Each structure stands twice: as structure tokens, then as C-alpha cells.
Chains A and B, each alone.
Chain A
């Protein structure tokens, strides 16, 4: 087990490294970072001077070396949009807000998907099942931003009981969290349902029923435990996906000041360094979640434990 953990973490670190390389290459390959630093009317000499000053005229490999050593020291560069502040500072400020949003959204999604999927699986083809499947399908077909805007229209504009956006207390968190949760809830419910249906068709469930166990006990105990393993993995992926991108959309809709929102701000204000830092940090987060999920999966599946 420890061997596995070590290997997996090492693999994760490799991915983070790859991500830094990709970000570095992207920022150097498609644009000239000098353009971001200089005002538009800079002359050619000013350009060359600035380039030399910032070291952008040196060979790529050397630049990369510098880049990596900077990162290792914790120096993620200075923001162009908010000069004087280091990018990692800004990210550090926004990260908890994103985590709060993603955390509450996913908590909602996973917490509801499990019981709903279970009930649907109990009577496949029954009324509850068909309703749940339909609602789930609709939910996962709607673009996240549309869900958010609909919620705004209904609750903020029409009924005026919840704020339109921004950061604040619980009231501000509700709509964005629901918007983030809905499509994930749809997907997860479908997965829980099909995993449960598969388990319910397995031989040991049939054997348990032959023992005289009631259907609902069998479901709650046997099927859920076995299906749970799949559900954990998929929930982890949903969390990673949310962090990797969906949060950006929801944060834009509700002007929620997380790192996604700031990524967009960085784009419109042409702050290349802030954007790179955000992407890097997000990569680390996503990789961390993936590694954690793999480890948890190996840990809870006793079939793996035994062998």
C-alpha cells in the first residue's frame, strides 16, 4: 500500500511538472511576454532593453531554468494588473473562496446523488426512477452558466430574496453553490443509479435475498457498500472537474471572487503572470485531488486489500 502511495504521488508530481512546462511553453510560444509588460507605444529600443532586463532574450532552456528556480523559491512573479503584489499572494486570497464554493456545491451534489440514485435503482422503470432519470438528464444537459442565470432570474430578479452575486454570507453562497451542483448532481445520480442496479443484479444479492433478507436491507447494506466504491471515484472526478473549470463559469455568472473569476480578470487586464500562476495552482489542486481519490479507492476496496 505504501509503495502504491509513493508511486502515485510521484506520478502526481510529474504531472505538476508537466503542467508547469506546458504553461511556460504556452506563454512563451504564442506571445511575446514583453508585449504584456510594455505600453503599446514602446519603441524598438525600449523593447529590446526591457527584454534584456527581464531576461526574455535568452535561450528558452535557460529561461525555463530560471522559471523553475523561481517557482521553487516561491517566487511566482509580480502581477501586472496589481503591480507590487505577487501573483501568488492574489491567488492565495482567492483560493479559499473557490474552495468554499466548490466544497459546498459538491457536498450538495454528492449528498443528494447517493440517496436519489439508490431510490431510483430500487425500482428500475418505476415512476420515481423515470422522474429522477428525466430530471437528471435535463440537469446534466444544461450549461452551467444557464443554470446560474436561471437561478438569478427566478430568485434574485423575480422574487428578490437572494442577491444577484458577489461574496458575502450564506445568502450569497446559495445560488452559486446550487448552480455548480446541478449538472454534477445529474451525472452522479445517473452513475449511482446504474452502479446500484448492477449490484442489485449480482449473484450475492440474489443469494442474500434467498436467505430471506428484505430488499431494502439488502440494498442498504450489500449493494450500497459495493457500489460505493465506484461512487467515490466518480465524485472525486467531479470535484476535480469543478476545480479545473466549471468554477470559472459559475464565478463569472455570480461575480464570485474566486480564482476562476480572477483568471478572467487577468485575461481582460492582460496580466499574463497572474493567469499563469492561477493555472499552475489549479493544476496542483486538480492533481492533488486525483491522487487522493486513487489512494482512497485503493484503500477502501477490500478486494484489493486481500490480494
Chain B
């Protein structure tokens, strides 16, 4: 009897919470747009072979440097034009989404996992281990990230794997710092002390309390990092030390388009716009997320809305 009665409130309250999140998203029009764009992007990446009008690597030198369909020489066959080797730009953009999303997710997951783990260990154990880990964090944070990434990438050769490794190695520190901070602050809270006084093992209490305190800032951080990684991958690919030249990446497209910037502006602008829109959407979702997980922020937003509607 108790099980049934106890479980329904939690399921119900969780559902209510989820609905509350969605409602908040709807009110945050920008966040909503961002989330929608990202959703479309993910679908595009997943269904790329089905929706791209051409094979992105297909070179038709006869049809090189065609402009988008709204220009004079353009046509619907290549809606966004073709690049210097006659490859369809739209298809390249569609397929390019795969690499950007893949790298973004992979790096966040890997760096996040390693970083959170190390942060937990550092905060939890304290003492020498803590000092060693944090010293490593502080040292590595002071390294010139992109330059070392360039150095590393140039040594082991460009490829998707290189990019992921390089960015992950450069990116774990911030998760570690955040996690350790949360662990430390939970450690010092009154309820852990109280638990000790009662005789509970403080570790259990800590774990119970660490997770909920961690999800909010961690999720915001992860989303922001995702945005940063997409930009970093694009930059690395642009410089030629990211993905292989035969891979399809938006950054690569901009780099090859730069040679033709005088007459074929679309080769630079289209991929650039797509990158910007993607990162912008992620940032909009991040700022929505930040508000939604922080109860005091939600209050402020709510109050503003109410008062505005009174006028």
C-alpha cells in the first residue's frame, strides 16, 4: 500500500516538473527557436543520405562555382551553388552537420566523464590526491590550448579522431573544477554535519546531495562547452589541422571557399552562417537552461511577465 501511494506523487511531480520546463521553454521564445533548430539539425544529420540532393564528394568540374538559385547563373539543381570542384554546397552542408554534432557530443561526453570523475575524486578524497589533481588542472588550463592542439594535430595528422582527442584533452579541466567545487560545498553543508552528529555515514549523505546539486550547473556547462567545441572544430578544420581534407566539415568548406571569396561569396557565407546558427541555437538553449534550473531566476522571469501583463 505504501509503495503505491509513495510512488505516484514522485512520478506525478516529476511529470509536472517536466511540463513546467517545457512551458518555460515555450515562454522563452529564443530558447524555443534554438531548441527547434537543433532538433532539425539532428534530424538532418541522421537522415543526411536521404535528404541531400547530391553526393557531397561528387565532383563535377563542368559545374564548378555555380551561385545559389536566386542568382542569375544559379539553378534549383544546386540550390546553394557549387564549390571550386563542382561539389554541391547544400549536400556538403547537410553532411557537414554530422561531423560537427559528432565531435561536439563525443568531446563533451569524454571530457565531461573524465573531468567529473577526477573532480569527484579530488573533492571527495581531499588531501594529496586533491592537490595533485588540482595542480594538474591549474597547469593545463594555463597552456595555450589552440596552439598545443595545432601542434598535436600537425604531429599525428588530421582526422576526426585527432580532433576529438585533442579537444577532449584540452577540455576536461573545467568539469573537474566545477565538480570539485560542488563536492566541497556539499561537504561543508550543515546537513552533512548534522548527519555525522546523528551517526549516519557522511559519505552516503554526501552522495545523496551531490548529484542534485551537480546536475544543474553541469548541464549548463555541458551545453556551453558543446557550443565551444563546435566552434573549435570549425576553427581547427579551417586551419587545416582538424578533419582530413577528404572529410566533410563546415570549417573545411570555409577554408576552401576563401580562395574564391572575391566572386563566389556564398562558398564562405553559407557554411559560416550554418556554423553561427548552430552555435547560436546552442547558446540560446544554454541560457534557457540556466534560467530553468535556477529557481530564483525562474521567479524573476515569472514576476517580470506578470507585471508586464498588468500594464
The 8 A CB mask of B231-275 against A (1 = contact, 0 = none) is 100110011110000000001001000100110010011001001
Q: A141-B280, A143-B235, A157-B261 are in contact. Are A245 and B144 (CB under 8 A)?
A: yes
Q: Are the C-beta atoms of A252 and B155 separated by less than 8 Å?
A: no
- By a CB distance below 8 angstroms, the chain B residues around A143 are 231, 234-235, 238, 251, 254, 272, 275-276, 279
Name which of B139, B240, B258, B269 has the most chain A CB atoms within 10 A of its CB. Answer: B139
Q: Is the pair A157, B265 in contact by a Cβ cutoff of 8 Å?
A: yes
27 A-B contact pairs sorted by A residue (CB < 8 Å):
A15-B143, A22-B148, A125-B304, A138-B280, A141-B276, A141-B279, A141-B283, A145-B272, A146-B254, A146-B272, A146-B275, A149-B254, A149-B272, A150-B269, A153-B265, A241-B145, A244-B145, A245-B146, A245-B149, A248-B146, A249-B146, A249-B235, A264-B240, A278-B147, A279-B144, A286-B143, A290-B142
Report if A122 contacts B (CB, 8 A).
no
* The one of B147, B261, B280 that contacts A263, using a Cβ cutoff of 8 Å: B147
Query: Which of B142, B272, B287: most chain A CB closer than 10 A?
Result: B142
Residue A93 is within 8 A (CB to CB) of chain B in the complex: no
CA distance A275 to B145 in the complex (A): 14
Q: Mark B211-232, 1 if CB is under 8 A from A, else 0.
A: 0000000000000000100010
Residue of B nearest to A138 (CB): B280
Residues of A within 8 A of B142 (CB): 12, 15, 283, 286-287, 290
- Counting CB contacts under 8 A, is B299 at the interface? no
Q: In the assembly, what is the distance between CA of A14 and CA of B142, in Å?
A: 11
Interface SS of A by simple majority: helix
User: Contacts of B184 on A, CB cut-off 8 Å?
Assistant: none
Give the docked Cα–Cα distance between A137 and B283 (Å): 7
B interface majority secondary structure:
helix
The answer to whether A264 and B146 have CB atoms under 8 Å apart is no
**Which one of B148, B262, B283 contacts A279 once the chains associate, using CB atoms below 8 Å?**
B148
Q: Is the CB of B147 within 8 A of A30?
A: no
> Complex: how many Å from CA A19 to CA B142?
9
Q: Is the CB of A243 within 8 A of B268?
A: no
* B279 near A26: Cβ-Cβ < 8 Å: no
Q: In the complex the two chains form, is A142's CB within 8 Å of B147's CB?
A: no
* Complex CA distance for A220 and B261, rounded to whole angstroms: 45
Q: Which chain A residues border B268 with CB–CB below 8 Å?
A: 146, 149-150, 153
Docked Cα-Cα span, A258 to B144, in Å, equals 16
Residues on B close to A: CB < 8 A?
A: 138-139, 142-152, 154-156, 227, 231, 234-235, 238-241, 251, 254, 258, 261-262, 265, 268-269, 272, 275-277, 279-280, 283-284, 287, 304
Residues in B neighbouring A12, C-beta threshold 8 A: 142
- Chain B residues with Cβ below 8 Å from A283 are 142-144, 147
B273 CB to nearest chain A CB (Å): 8
The residue in chain A whose Cβ has the minimal distance to the Cβ of B278 is A141
- Known A15-B142, A30-B155, A146-B254; contact A137-B235, beta-carbon cutoff 8 A: no
Give A252 Cβ to nearest chain B Cβ, in Å.
Answer: 6
Question: In the assembled complex, how far is the CB of residue A153 from the closest CB belonging to chain B, in whole angstroms?
Answer: 5
A113 to B189, CA, bound (A): 37
Task: Judge if A246 is at the interface, Cβ distance under 8 Å.
Answer: yes
Which residues does chain A contribute within 8 Å of B146, judged by CB atoms? 244-246, 248-249
Residues from chain A with Cβ under 8 Å of B258 in the complex: 149, 253
Judged by a CB distance under 8 angstroms, whether A63 is at the interface is no
